[in-house]
Structure 1
Amino acid sequence: MRSAQDILDLLQELETEPADYLEDQDLDFKEWIPRSMNDSLNLVIEMAVCMANGGGGVVVFGVRDHVTGREKAILGVPPEIDVNRLKKAVYDSTDPKLTPNFEEIRVPEGTGRLLVMTVFPGLPPYTDTSGKGKVRVGKDCQPLTGTMRRRIMVETGETDFTAERLNERPEELISAAALETLVNAARREKAPEDLLRADGMDILAQLGVIQDGQMTRAGVLLCGTEKAISKYIPGYGWTHLRMQSDTRYTDRADGRDALLVALSRIMDRINADNPIFTLEQGLFHFEYRTYPEIALREAVANALCHADFRIAGPILVKQGPDKLEISNPGGFIAGITPENILHHQPAARNPLLVDALAKLRLVNRSNLGVGRMFEALLIEGKEPPVIHESGDSVALTFMRREFSREFRLFVAEESQKGRALSLDQLLVLQYVLAHPEIDSATAAGICQRPEQNARGIMDGMERLGYVERGGAGRGTYWTLHSDLHQKIAAPGDPDRDRRIDWEAAKTRVLSVLMERARRGNEGLNNTDIRRITHYDRNQVRRLMMELMKENDSIQKEGERRWTRYVYSM
């Protein structure tokens, strides 16, 4: 949970960012409603319920959204507001009862007083005493609809579709071929010996998918016959399409196999059109597929084990000329979003199924799978997958990209030096290879880290000689070190020597100026522009004179060593 000091540190950001930009799954800012005590109490109750249903969090009362500057944003809470009254109102008006903690923060602006309400995680769903409620999803409080209530029950383990027991003899439901596939896969992954020594039904009992002699739906998904799967999990199935365009396909395969059989069949079909590239390094030849197999396997396995099997819809794989998309029915749960998925606490929609696969070491319960996907692509010089949620489904898209021999060799060399690149460093390097600069806010977004952590990442990369720093204070940015760029850029990259032609230099400088203006950052000085273009001081002066003549929005501020160029929006 956020401490009072954490909140005070965040308030400094209000000088340059509106409060809503600083909000997160576990943090909200709310303006107090001075005209009506009842409206204020209702707001406090609503936010307590919302945060409790979203896994807990902090609400800061007395701060206005959508404005920049502390004076405008921090209005405060009236001094006569009694926190004991607020705590009692929340307790009396919630079901089950909530007892949030309230803390006062003193500030120089507004009334001089902010109230911080901390709501601790509990056992949702929570509502007010009239049965109404909301749930925190990302930065929003959404109505606690029937679908949301069901999702919360899944997240808290109150309902697990795969754990339901079936009134039929397990022997009648099991496919011998699927069970053999499961055992063989467990051996390859070096599952615990006590599991591997078990036979047939015993291994399923040890996995927990047979309970008190009864088969669960998880057991049917793992090793059931197609007839049993159709009967007890009628919504489940998989489809692989070879796409000719976004709307037409040339080949299709469908199945209702047990999960590990399905995984094998889907992987075989994908790899039939997943060419291998051979990298020669000394006496060794290394083979790499267009789509890294480890990334594909993690993606397909995630789609199979995290699908919502109550929704009728297949695990769908669409493989086209330039991309491959894997989607499954069932949206994100537990506050996971595409923007925080790399580091969010793991959450399973189907706990019994995932637990059984984890015991077999066929999936990872520590939320490492998504990171492995990203890493497998990034170390080959390819962009990470794109993940998005659409209604009640999640899709992951791999773009078809060429293998980068230069980048892969660089990663291997760094590893040999004892400097294995982290996922954060890989994400940043791929970004600055494609963009002229990166600031800490952008680094925080692509690494899915707090901005303070992102600054530490960038400082560390600067010490290693990967990037160069420009600007100062809030205007600090980093560019890829010229020597490293020459080493890891593709041979056909026209920018490989970092000295770009005159017109391209003007375009790049204009683009950076516009982007910095959009973010509210200061402009560029001669040193900054030299880093971008790799021209000398006099060439930069001449370039900027031409650029100002061509574009009235670019203005010069200051003289001599204090000269700075800015873009007026």
Structure 2
Amino acid sequence: MNKFTIQQLQQMRESEDRVEFKAGEGGNVSYDGRGKTNPKDRRRCILGYVIALCNEGGGRLVIGMHDNYPHRVTGTRQAQDAIGRLESDIYRDTTIRPEIYELYDEENRRVLVIEVPSRPIGKVFKFEDVPLMRVGEELKPMSDAMYLKILQESEPDFSEKICEGLSLEDLDEEAIRVMKKKYADRWEKPEFNNIPTNQVLKDFMLMDNDGHLNYAALILLAKSEVIYRYLPCDNVVVEYRLYHHMIEYTARAEFREPLFLLVDHVWDYINQPASNPLQHYRDKFARYALPAFNEDVVREAVLNAICHRVMFIQSDIVIKQYPDMLVITNAGGFPVGVDTDNILSVNSMPRSRRICEVLQKTGLVEKRGQGVDRMFAISISEGKPIPDYSLTDEWQVCLRLHGTIQDPALLLLIHDIQRNRATTEQLNAFDLLALYRVSRGESIRNVDSVTLKKLLSQELLIETSDGIKLTPLYDEMKLRAGVTDKTEDKNIQVNDTAKTSQLTERQKKIYHIIKDGTINDTVNDTANDTVTAKTLSEALGASIITIKRDLAAMQSVGVIKRVGSDKTGHWEAIVK
């Protein structure tokens, strides 16, 4: 064990270094809070702090040093000549195995250090049946969001569990035929279509050697009425609305089918001419059109939602469709370690791994970690905004897919670049995202050095006195697309009065906070940099998710824009 010195402990900060200091001169830090009637007081004991530190990922409880920085040594008689017993008691009462040692300063004052290990993955420790966490100077019940996040860390693959009572007769023959055909077509093995179903199910690990089928078999292949019997929440609901402000839907369809049939039927419903309108763009004198919603992007998004949803939360996958946007939500929030900033760079583990493996074998989804890349690459290549996960929270993933061609010049530029390159030399999702960010005047701080060097060497990006700019070919593409400086200004700049009249009263307040640099009537030149959903929530008395929805609505109207990444960027008001 690596023991800290008193000098090292004195330089530590309680929150940053996961350490808790207690004076305890007389050895009076209670072991278990016994004798105190108030639960809040009982928690502030050795067991309470050990449990909270363990839940935080490990740390140390230091007794015999003042909690004010730089933590003056007070000395303590806590567990004097009884360190072994204290270790045993903590292990007996919590199953946490600490390591305890003592230090002495130059005046022979004693300091007791209790090193607390990190909790096991997916494990939450409790004191008096309450999971604890440190909040400032207090020990409080762990938030629901953190509790759920920890539980999901080691969440077993629901789809590989045996579905008791499910039989071969419960499976849909057409779904089985489609599964076999997709595998045969992908791997060019037509003979696979004739392999006995039992053998295919075992090869795909949908059936064990004793003939028991799992939940992956149910979701992928079972008849509709059987799915409803075992998983009544396994539905995909599509609601169509003409306008974003509408509460009632114009049309609605509910899909409860084996997944190998469902994904085609969901796409067919979304892809109706009236609800998936064509988006037109120019290339000199020729006019072309793209559907608002790309089939590959939509299929990938729906299958991602199915593979990553949390099945123990009784909630359907809901797709809200508008003429210019799809909003897809699934229960459970991002997998552990994934956020809006690293979603392209982190290979997450799908919650339904068995389902995902079968979908990969049959070619319905890309290799793990490549599906989101593909969604981003296609959206950028079509001149549309990138997939937007900014409304995701701990309880659900919310993906917004924009259907409007926002930058026809970038569309033409990428098209010309890609069509003249061999497959191995095509721009990847990270290259395209860098071009996208530069085209919008966003910061390139999050662009990795390899991508930046590559694009500069190929002269797709150029260094100027004003920073990194797109290749001069981009200006040529604006002319080909009929985008003049005047029309561009109309797209980028908006009339303050006309646009803000569409906002709610709360959204108007948000707009003026961002525009005027005023928070709680205090002028701040850097207010834009500090305005977050949290600060707005506190200032306006609304929940964070409500504020996020307001910001998203204001962004779609065109009165604010996001500069930089979701984590490190800031909001700016758009005024003429």
TM range (shorter): 0.5 to 0.7
What per-residue deviation string (whole Å, max 9, x for no partner) do you get for residues 176-197 of structure 1?
A: 1222222233334438889655
TM value normalised by structure 1: 0.61
* Matching residue's letter, 1:253: A
Once residues 431 and 126 of structure 2 are traced to their aligned partners in structure 1, the CA distance between those partners, rounded to angstroms, is: 46
Aligned residue number for residue 268 of structure 2 = 268
Once residues 386 and 70 of structure 2 are traced to their aligned partners in structure 1, the CA distance between those partners, rounded to angstroms, is: 42
Aligned residue number for residue 180 of structure 1 = 177
CA distance 1:118–1:481, change in 2 (3 Å): farther
User: RMSD over aligned Cα, in angstroms?
Assistant: 5.2
CA distance 1:191–1:438, change in 2 (3 Å): same
Correspondence 1:352-371 to 2 at 5 A:
352-364=354-366, 366-371=368-373
Whether contact under 8 Å (2:333, 2:397) holds in the other structure is: yes
Work out which of the residue numbers 192, 203, 206 in structure 1 matches 2:203.
Answer: 206
Q: Could you say what secondary structure the match of 1:215 adopts?
A: coil
Aligned residue number for residue 96 of structure 2 = 97
Aligned residue number for residue 394 of structure 1 = 397
Once residues 515 and 194 of structure 1 are traced to their aligned partners in structure 2, the CA distance between those partners, rounded to angstroms, is: 70
Task: State the Cα distance separating 1:381 from its structure 2 match.
Answer: 2.0
Aligned residue number for residue 469 of structure 2 = 480
Work out which of the residue numbers 479, 486, 489 in structure 2 matches 1:494.
Answer: 486
Aligned residue number for residue 549 of structure 2 = none
Task: State the Cα distance separating 1:349 from its structure 2 match.
Answer: 2.1
What per-residue deviation string (whole Å, max 9, x for no partner) do you get for residues 199-241 of structure 1?
A: 3232122212222212222212111111111111112212222
Aligned residue number for residue 343 of structure 1 = 345
Aligned residue number for residue 49 of structure 1 = 54
CA distance 1:482–1:261, change in 2 (3 Å): closer
Once residues 312 and 50 of structure 2 are traced to their aligned partners in structure 1, the CA distance between those partners, rounded to angstroms, is: 33
Once residues 101 and 363 of structure 1 are traced to their aligned partners in structure 2, the CA distance between those partners, rounded to angstroms, is: 51
CA distance 1:145–1:76, change in 2 (3 Å): closer
Whether contact under 8 Å (1:186, 1:362) holds in the other structure is: no
Whether contact under 8 Å (2:462, 2:470) holds in the other structure is: yes
Answer yes or no: is 1:315 the counterpart of 2:307: no
Unaligned runs of 5+ in 2: 1-10, 31-43, 63-67, 102-112, 494-515, 518-523, 531-576
Q: Could you say what secondary structure the match of 2:472 adopts?
A: helix
Whether contact under 8 Å (1:133, 1:143) holds in the other structure is: yes
Whether contact under 8 Å (2:242, 2:323) holds in the other structure is: yes
Once residues 152 and 180 of structure 2 are traced to their aligned partners in structure 1, the CA distance between those partners, rounded to angstroms, is: 29
Whether contact under 8 Å (2:235, 2:255) holds in the other structure is: yes
Work out which of the residue numbers 424, 440, 446 in structure 2 matches 1:434.
Answer: 440
Work out which of the residue numbers 450, 468, 474 in structure 1 matches 2:463.
Answer: 468
CA distance 1:299–1:89, change in 2 (3 Å): farther
CA distance 1:249–1:362, change in 2 (3 Å): same
183-192 vs 335-344, greater mean Cα deviation? 183-192
Whether contact under 8 Å (2:21, 2:61) holds in the other structure is: no
CA distance 1:351–1:482, change in 2 (3 Å): closer
CA distance 1:462–1:364, change in 2 (3 Å): closer
Correspondence 1:447-458 to 2 at 5 A:
454=448, 457-458=451-452
Aligned residue number for residue 225 of structure 1 = 223
Once residues 385 and 393 of structure 2 are traced to their aligned partners in structure 1, the CA distance between those partners, rounded to angstroms, is: 22
CA distance 1:518–1:257, change in 2 (3 Å): closer
CA distance 1:91–1:427, change in 2 (3 Å): farther
CA distance 1:225–1:49, change in 2 (3 Å): same
Whether contact under 8 Å (2:54, 2:116) holds in the other structure is: no
Once residues 75 and 252 of structure 1 are traced to their aligned partners in structure 2, the CA distance between those partners, rounded to angstroms, is: 63
Aligned residue number for residue 534 of structure 1 = none
* Matching residue's letter, 1:266: V
CA distance 1:336–1:185, change in 2 (3 Å): same
Whether contact under 8 Å (1:91, 1:97) holds in the other structure is: yes
Once residues 323 and 217 of structure 1 are traced to their aligned partners in structure 2, the CA distance between those partners, rounded to angstroms, is: 32
Once residues 364 and 410 of structure 2 are traced to their aligned partners in structure 1, the CA distance between those partners, rounded to angstroms, is: 30
Task: State the Cα distance separating 1:399 from its structure 2 match.
Answer: 1.6
Once residues 119 and 338 of structure 2 are traced to their aligned partners in structure 1, the CA distance between those partners, rounded to angstroms, is: 16
Correspondence 1:23-102 to 2 at 5 A:
28-29=16-17, 33=21, 35=23, 45-46=50-51, 48-52=53-57, 92=91, 95-97=94-96
What per-residue deviation string (whole Å, max 9, x for no partner) do you get for residues 426-450 of structure 1?
A: 2233233223x5262xx3xxx6xxx
Unaligned runs of 5+ in 1: 1-10, 12-18, 53-57, 63-72, 103-114, 448-453, 471-476, 502-509, 521-569
Q: Could you say what secondary structure the match of 1:316 adopts?
A: strand
Aligned residue number for residue 384 of structure 2 = 382
* Matching residue's letter, 1:429: L
Aligned residue number for residue 430 of structure 2 = 424
TM value normalised by structure 2: 0.61
Q: Could you say what secondary structure the match of 1:432 adopts?
A: helix
* Matching residue's letter, 1:237: N
Once residues 515 and 423 of structure 1 are traced to their aligned partners in structure 2, the CA distance between those partners, rounded to angstroms, is: 36
CA distance 1:277–1:148, change in 2 (3 Å): closer
Whether contact under 8 Å (1:125, 1:149) holds in the other structure is: no
Correspondence 1:244-263 to 2 at 5 A:
244-245=242-243, 246-263=246-263
Whether contact under 8 Å (2:438, 2:468) holds in the other structure is: yes
CA distance 1:269–1:144, change in 2 (3 Å): same
Aligned residue number for residue 214 of structure 2 = 216
Once residues 332 and 44 of structure 1 are traced to their aligned partners in structure 2, the CA distance between those partners, rounded to angstroms, is: 29
Q: Could you say what secondary structure the match of 1:294 adopts?
A: helix
Whether contact under 8 Å (2:238, 2:321) holds in the other structure is: yes
Q: Could you say what secondary structure the match of 1:214 adopts?
A: coil
